[in-house]
Amino acid sequence: MNEQRANPQAAGEQSAQGRCVCHEFLDHVREVIGVSPEVKQHLANSRVEFLKAVRQVIDDRIERLSRQGQPGTKIAVD
């Protein structure tokens, strides 16, 4: 959060793109306890892995819905 206060233009760009919950959590941890560069890297990696997990859930759901097929309507042809 302190990064946003220091650079208002960057803060505007980030808010336009949206911030994920993981990034908000990371900012809160930094603010409350401070973290080493190694911890920052682990948290950044975990954010990517979390987003990959969400993507996989969505892909699995799409696959399941695609396999079910769409019910059709019978039309009489002369």
Q: How many domains does the chain have?
A: 1
Q: Is 74 a member of any domain?
A: no
Model confidence, pTM: 0.45
Whether 5 has a pLDDT exceeding 60, the answer reads: no
Q: Is 8 a member of any domain?
A: no
Q: Is 12 a member of any domain?
A: no
| List of residues 6+ apart from 35 with CB closer than 8 A | 29, 43
What is the domain range of residue 25? 20-68
Q: Is 75 a member of any domain?
A: no
How many other C-beta atoms are found inside a 10 Å radius of the C-beta of residue 24? 11
| pLDDT tens-digit series, residues 17-75 | 677 888 888 788 778 887 788 988 888 899 899 999 999 999 999 999 888 766 777 78
What pLDDT was estimated at residue 21?
Answer: 84
What pLDDT was estimated at residue 36?
Answer: 83
Whether 15 has a pLDDT exceeding 60, the answer reads: no
Q: Is 15 a member of any domain?
A: no
